Amino acid sequence: MRKSDSYTVFFAAIICIACSLTLSVTSALLREQQDEQSELDRRLNILKAFDVPIRDAQGRKLGVQEVNRIFGEHIQEVVIDTASGQVVPNLSSFDLTRAQIESREKLPLYEWRDGGEIRKVAFPTSGKGLWSTIYGYMALDSDLDTILGVTFYRHGETPGLGGEISTDWFQNQFRGKKILRNGKLQTFQIVKGRVADRYPSGNDHAVDGISGATLTGKGINQFLNRDLELYEKYFAQVRKN
C-alpha cells in the first residue's frame, strides 16, 4: 500500500473513532433528558385519555411541572392482579418484572380521584399491529362502561395508513362508546369501512376503520379486547361497590 493510501485509511479510521466517541458521550449526557421527555410523553397521553386538555391557552403542550402537579393532585397508580381482580398493596408498575408484564399476570391502572373518590380510570393497552407493537391508553368514566378517551401514541405503523391511529379524528371516535351490554363485557370493534354501513341502526361499541389499514385495525381489536377482559374482574368489583 502506498504511503498516501495508508494515510487516507488512518485518517478515516481516526474520524470514525472520534465520531463514535462523540455520539456515545452525547447520548450518555442526554440520557436523563431523554428519559424525562419519554416520561412526560407517557403522562401526557394518560391525561389525554382522561380527556384532560394537554395544551395551554397558547396551544403549547403542558410542561413537566404542570403535568406532575395534576398527577400529584388527582392520579394514583395501582397494580391489579388480573387473576383475582384485586389491587396489589404497595406495588407500582416500576416493581413489576418483565415476566409479569409479558404474561399480564399483574397490570398497572391509573385512578383519577377527587376528594378521595375514584371518578375515572385509565389503563395501558398494547399489542401487535401490522409492522410494530402499538402502545396506548384507554380511560373509562365513573360508570366503568363509558369510554372517555383513547390514545395510541407509540408505534411503527405505515404513515398515512395504519399511522392514522395516532390522529385525533380516529381517536375521537372512541369517546362515548360503551364496553358493556346488559352488564356484560362486549367485544369492541374497529370495523372495515364505516360503522354506518355495517350497522345502519347505530352501534355503541364500534368505530370506523382506516382505509388501507385493515390489519392494523385487526391487531388493535385483538389486544384491546384482550386487555379489557383482563381488567374486567377489577372493574366488576368496583361497580358493585
In tens, the pLDDT along 150-198 reads: 999 999 999 999 999 999 999 999 999 999 999 999 999 999 999 999 9
Placement of cell 416493581 in the chain: 95
3-state secondary structure 17-58: HHHHHHHHHHHHHHHHHHHHHHHHHHHHHHHHHCCCCCECCC
Furthest C-alpha separation in the chain: 85
Question: What is the mean predicted confidence (pLDDT) over 102-107?
Answer: 86
Placement of cell 388527582 in the chain: 74
Tell me if 129 sits within 8 A of 231, measured CB to CB: no
Cα dihedral 222, 235, 78, 108, rounded to 10, equals 0
Q: Is 212 left (phi over 0), alpha (psi -120 to 50) or beta?
A: left
**Does 65 or 12 have the greater pLDDT score?**
65
**Does 35 or 206 have the greater pLDDT score?**
206
- DSSP assigned state of 62: P
Give the pLDDT score at 181: 93
Give the pLDDT score at 92: 81
Give the pLDDT score at 22: 66
Cα–Cα distance between 191 and 209 in angstroms, integer?
5
pLDDT in tens, 137-152: 999 999 999 999 999 9
pLDDT cut 70: percent of the chain above it: 89
Placement of cell 395534576 in the chain: 70
- Quote the distance between the C-alpha of residue 132 and its chain's center: 14
pLDDT band at 70 (very low <50, low <70, confident <90, very high): very high
Give the pLDDT score at 11: 67
Q: Looking at the whole model, is its pTM more than 0.85?
A: no
